[in-house]
Structure 1
């Protein structure tokens, strides 16, 4: 005979620890102090305070809060941006970042997704299309700044660690011993990205990653 299991009643509708966000969370207690100390701000967010403010202005239209039935619990847009930049700078310390900001780990995941989408929407026009004129401009930069002639970009790849997707086998398993996807990018003489391709299987190898990208196929097809 099966007995129906009763759902355990939660002690609190919202954890008291999370309720303290606006008083004791990292953004409320520490952000303004960091903002006034440029070197420490860069250590935590990998950009100067003025660049953070500029990025915030660009993202605001893309991160307008949806209708909230509990507005007192809403997380401000600037807090979301701070969370995501610190999470990206720290790597995979999602639980630690959640604790510092007094936000649940599950909510942090949604914030990271929303802010990254907003960044893509706001900055997608920042990388110009490759034309003869833009490539000549990049080559001039390498010539003048680094005395490196006829160079239209520096290219490299990065293994971005992920959890293996279900039923993926060894597609995402790399030679370093963990699962990842490949971020391939080129930049100009001032370290500004001029092309980005992300999502290739690690098992493809460097040559196939380049060949299967839009950049690689364009080169192969003249």
Structure 2
């Protein structure tokens, strides 16, 4: 009898269809995408404030790699970029766009993956010619020769994963992971590594990254050294003193030994803005 009752409940549950929330049904009328998007497109400054990119860049990104779905593709891209730009809660974005929290939670990672695929070819390879071009830009814009990039780490706040202990806890008093990035003279990303424990620090995150391993193991080819003021000077990355430990792996006998120096610690804030 118990098994029969259980089977009957199962059949009823299978045949039951969840009722859609009336609030979500108003997506195509009152949702943020339908209500505000076209007006923001007509006002470029407001559009940039919300999505951190121009209308033309948005359209170009949209056309690259998005699949059809019940929710308009532009709406998916818009809500994802607004979420990333504002750092708000997913439930807030879901409410604004009249989309369920569950669907937003699935949509944002999917769109982020699509963005990575679409823009994967936009970052130049780290070869000799690319390094020379970046050094020329630093020389032209900042009068700082032989610099191929500025490197720094950023605390990205996260909700602590279960059973993580203090692995993600940083000295500022919250849980985070490290976003490690290198930028050129125009503040454009040329390298990104994300996911290191914040408790490890910038130095260790750099040594574990792809580019850090290549530098430490001597696998990356650099341009030939230049003569600057009569001194043979190599190409280098500019960083703050958080990377001093990595520097010591390249330089063991003080500042005059420049031949193997790849990370240059310098107080010139204008090179790392």
User: Where on the TM-score scale, by shorter chain, does this alignment land: which range?
Assistant: 0.7 to 0.9
Alignment partner, residue 151 of structure 1: 147
Distance between the aligned counterparts of 2:142 and 2:120, measured in 1?
28
Matches within 5 A, 1:1-222: 13-59=19-65, 63-65=66-68, 74-222=70-218
Q: Give how far 1:53 is off.
A: 0.9
Q: Give how far 1:39 is off.
A: 0.6
Please report the TM-score for the alignment, with normalisation by the length of structure 2.
0.72
TM-superposition CA deviations, 1:67-103 (whole Å, max 9, x none) = xxxxxxx101110000000001110322211111001
Distance between the aligned counterparts of 2:78 and 2:168, measured in 1?
30
Say if 2:180 and 2:202, in contact at 8 Å, map to a contact too: no
Say if 2:152 and 2:202, in contact at 8 Å, map to a contact too: no
Q: Give the secondary structure class of the aligned counterpart of 2:172.
A: coil
Larger Rg: 2
Alignment partner, residue 71 of structure 1: none
Q: Give the secondary structure class of the aligned counterpart of 1:157.
A: strand
Aligned length: 207
Please report the TM-score for the alignment, with normalisation by the length of structure 1.
0.88
> 5+ unaligned residues in a row in structure 1: which ranges?
67-73
Q: Give the secondary structure class of the aligned counterpart of 2:165.
A: coil
Distance between the aligned counterparts of 2:127 and 2:53, measured in 1?
30
Q: Give the secondary structure class of the aligned counterpart of 1:152.
A: strand
Q: Give the secondary structure class of the aligned counterpart of 2:61.
A: helix
Q: Cα–Cα, structure 1 residues 149 and 64, in superposed 2: closer, same or farther, change >3 Å?
A: same
4+ residue runs over 6 A deviation: 9-12
TM-superposition CA deviations, 1:36-73 (whole Å, max 9, x none) = 000111111111111111111123xxx2136xxxxxxx
Distance between the aligned counterparts of 1:215 and 1:14, measured in 2?
49
Distance between the aligned counterparts of 2:142 and 2:162, measured in 1?
46
Distance between the aligned counterparts of 2:162 and 2:113, measured in 1?
24
